[in-house]
A and B are shown apart, each in its own frame.
Chain A
């Protein structure tokens, strides 16, 4: 079942004519001519679509929180600042099929009553920005954007904004600051963007994938979307699969397939590369807790783990993880967890905005300690120190970057503590290139 990537392999799908030939912009026709904004919102609510940026907050509910005072403009901002290591789905979608996003933007803006909308694209993706600019111009030429769209009396201007080149600008309030032309520092919440967002006006910030899905929901109805998936995880999700698998890439999966299926089935990842075994998986981008092979395939209760928000977070952080933004990084037994954790910690150290003290100092501290452990300078007390530092950052920061920095470190120690200990106890072995600790009896060593 494909929704977003149905026509993605059609040649020239990035041009508006080809896109319209394959049913593109029918949702705009339907929404603007036959539906009211409230009806569109209602369909999205019915669909159970959850935010695809990572947090998984229901989109319809987020829309209904939008304050609607008289005489104040409202904005829709598309968060296309995808920077999470391991995640590259939005990039793929915008690059291959920009009109999918633009169609979603028009429908969503209409539902929210926004007359100006923005797509905040990661600054590094300049060629994607060019593709989007070209696509938007095509939409203007066809009368799908601008004044009085399709004679419905609804106006919409859509702008692309190149991002400031920082991971933190993907946090919604930092994104808004950046969009206003300021330093990308997250704001204190409350007030939330739904009340005071862009230029202190009510604003909704949604992920590319969430917005793109709304046009299918308008075309086929919220119930049809809700019929896909399991429980509260409805619809399809783009997963960026990478790491030691046979077929890395972006896959659109119906939520609810098993993780085992996703890794080993030929339809998706195609299994671990020849001659190796699954060791660990980071299921939703670098910020979610890493899970060892045993726990990613089955939950602590012994059930098969599914690719859904609920199943992946089953057992909390003790035995579970999160679906996050869908950056599915698979590691086989040649991967060193300490090295991997260091890489993540280094990233968050580099990307912390430096506004609040736990994150600014804590991320740097974790990076330095992990760096020592990795390079054979670790001390016994360092492992507990890392756990404690991670605990003191988590939940005490302005924005979720602090959590994102502490979760992977805490989880790696939770599940692979012996690997850290081995690094500290055997520095001369551990610092050899390619050295990996082989845990006795673990499924990936057999």
Chain B
């Protein structure tokens, strides 16, 4: 099947979604995903961040689709032409989606453990606008205790349902879910209850924002002060493949290994995640490839580790047009490094 995304044509298998096809091309054309999580069946279609324009439905029926379609759940047709970053409508709508997602978000990144590896931060940086139009008070929720390992901050939640699918598909028995509806819908357990089973910790990894974080890691460090290292261990319950995070000589956190889209494919058990906090517990493999969702290597361990992200380049390019007398370095926007400057 032939599909054209942002003027790039490629061959894909039948049944591939637009998102999967776009990801085959690369992060420059892949639509952002806040709720879609490839390893989880049935996820996607909710956040609407990946809406794209289909300008030709298929070879047989080349009419454009009337509405924008979610790339993550729309299967490609032979001869389909998709516009993502080249379509004004799509970009404008995406700005709106960022605005909606941030509308009731507390924006407490300075005290949020997810900051630095937060998909919502990336999404709003890459696709949002810098100003706000809302003066309304934000919705807040009463805190819910989910037990000793998992910290829930419902105010930050964007209701992507990923943790619900994780509990359904990875663990043996889901005790939490979405209660109520509309903008007062919340992740909770029916009558306050701990989420307690061997794989419950994975909800932390799949959460795109700081709604579900690791209680054993809480306020211990900022992500960018820690060094991720790939390691594995003998584990009866799971694959044992993990990323362990060092601060100095101390293992402060263990997470699943994330691919370039921020998705964990080998889920790890709670024993590995919460209890094995010594170097001796692990066989070290080597430094982790830092994903585009992390700020770790920025200004730190060599910016050339990270491919300069497309939107950052754009922001640097557009920088002069903004009438802003602040210093460039103050904003933290670096001009693109010329290729010859590589170490």
**Residues of A participating in the B interface, judged by any CB pair closer than 8 Å:** 166, 168, 183, 188, 349-358, 360-365, 368-369, 372, 379, 381, 385, 389, 392, 395-398
Question: Smallest Cβ distance from A210 to chain B, in angstroms?
Answer: 24
Q: Which residues of A lie under 8 Å from residue B139 when comparing CB positions? A: 364
> Is the CB–CB distance between B182 and A354 below 8 Å?
yes
Question: Smallest Cβ distance from A380 to chain B, in angstroms?
Answer: 13
Given contacts A361-B103, A396-B51, is CB(A354)–CB(B183) below 8 Å?
yes
Question: Smallest Cβ distance from B95 to chain A, in angstroms?
Answer: 8
> Is the CB–CB distance between A356 and B136 below 8 Å?
no
A358 to B35 CA separation, bound complex (whole angstroms): 13
> Is the CB–CB distance between A392 and B136 below 8 Å?
no
Is B307's CB within 8 Å of the partner chain A?
no
Is B68's CB within 8 Å of the partner chain A?
yes
Question: Smallest Cβ distance from A95 to chain B, in angstroms?
Answer: 28
Given contacts A365-B136, A395-B68, 17 further A-B contacts (CB under 8 A): A183-B177, A350-B182, A353-B185, A354-B180, A355-B161, A356-B48, A357-B101, A360-B100, A360-B159, A363-B183, A364-B103, A368-B136, A392-B99, A396-B48, A396-B93, A396-B97, A398-B46
Q: Which residues of B lie under 8 Å from residue A368 when comparing CB positions? A: 136
> Is the CB–CB distance between A188 and B70 below 8 Å?
yes
Question: Smallest Cβ distance from A344 to chain B, in angstroms?
Answer: 15
> Is the CB–CB distance between A356 and B47 below 8 Å?
yes
Q: Which residues of B lie under 8 Å from residue A358 when comparing CB positions? A: 48, 96-97, 100
Is B300's CB within 8 Å of the partner chain A?
no
Which 8 pairs between the two chains have the least Cβ-Cβ distance?
A392-B96, A354-B185, A361-B100, A352-B182, A364-B183, A188-B45, A368-B136, A361-B103
Residue in chain A with minimal CB distance to B66 = A395
Q: Which residues of B lie under 8 Å from residue A372 when comparing CB positions? A: 136
Given contacts A360-B182, A396-B67, is CB(A354)–CB(B159) below 8 Å?
yes
A355 to B70 CA separation, bound complex (whole angstroms): 14
Q: Which residues of A lie under 8 Å from residue B67 when comparing CB positions? A: 395-396
Q: Which of B99, B103, B104, B181 contacts A168 (CB 8 A)?
A: B181
Question: Smallest Cβ distance from A182 to chain B, in angstroms?
Answer: 10
> Is the CB–CB distance between B182 and A357 below 8 Å?
no
Size band of the interface chain B makes with A: 35 or more
Residue in chain B with minimal CB distance to A402 = B48
Residue in chain B with minimal CB distance to A396 = B48
Q: Which of B44, B177, B182 contacts A351 (CB 8 A)?
A: B182
Number of A-B contacts (CB under 8 A): 95
Query: Looking at chain A's contact residues, is the secondary structure mostly helix, strand, loop, or mixed?
Result: helix
Q: Which residues of B lie under 8 Å from residue A361 when comparing CB positions? A: 100-101, 103-104, 183
Q: Which residues of B lie under 8 Å from residue A354 when comparing CB positions? A: 159, 178, 180-185
Question: Smallest Cβ distance from B317 to chain A, in angstroms?
Answer: 26
> Is the CB–CB distance between A365 and B48 below 8 Å?
no
Is B211's CB within 8 Å of the partner chain A?
no
Question: Smallest Cβ distance from B209 to chain A, in angstroms?
Answer: 12
Q: Which residues of B lie under 8 Å from residue A398 when comparing CB positions? A: 45-46
Q: Which residues of A lie under 8 Å from residue B134 when comparing CB positions? A: 365
A361 to B99 CA separation, bound complex (whole angstroms): 9
B29-46 interface bits toward A, Cβ cutoff 8 Å, 1 = contact, 0 = none:
000001000000000111
Given contacts A349-B183, A357-B46, is CB(A365)–CB(B103) below 8 Å?
yes
> Is the CB–CB distance between A357 and B48 below 8 Å?
yes
9 A-B pairs within 8 Å (CB atoms) are namely A183-B178, A355-B46, A358-B100, A360-B183, A361-B101, A392-B99, A392-B100, A395-B67, A396-B96
Q: Which residues of B lie under 8 Å from residue A363 when comparing CB positions? A: 182-183
Question: Smallest Cβ distance from B49 to chain A, in angstroms?
Answer: 8
Given contacts A361-B101, A365-B134, A396-B93, is CB(A353)–CB(B45) below 8 Å?
no
> Is the CB–CB distance between B136 and A357 below 8 Å?
no
A46 to B300 CA separation, bound complex (whole angstroms): 73
Question: Smallest Cβ distance from A402 to chain B, in angstroms?
Answer: 9
Q: Which residues of A lie under 8 Å from residue B70 when comparing CB positions? A: 188
A369 to B46 CA separation, bound complex (whole angstroms): 24
Is B73's CB within 8 Å of the partner chain A?
yes
Is B60's CB within 8 Å of the partner chain A?
no
B122-160 interface bits toward A, Cβ cutoff 8 Å, 1 = contact, 0 = none:
000000000001111001000000000000000000110
Q: Which residues of B lie under 8 Å from residue A166 when comparing CB positions? A: 181
Question: Smallest Cβ distance from B24 to chain A, in angstroms?
Answer: 22
Q: Which of B49, B68, B100, B181 contacts A362 (CB 8 A)?
A: B100
Q: Which residues of A lie under 8 Å from residue B96 when comparing CB positions? A: 358, 389, 392, 396
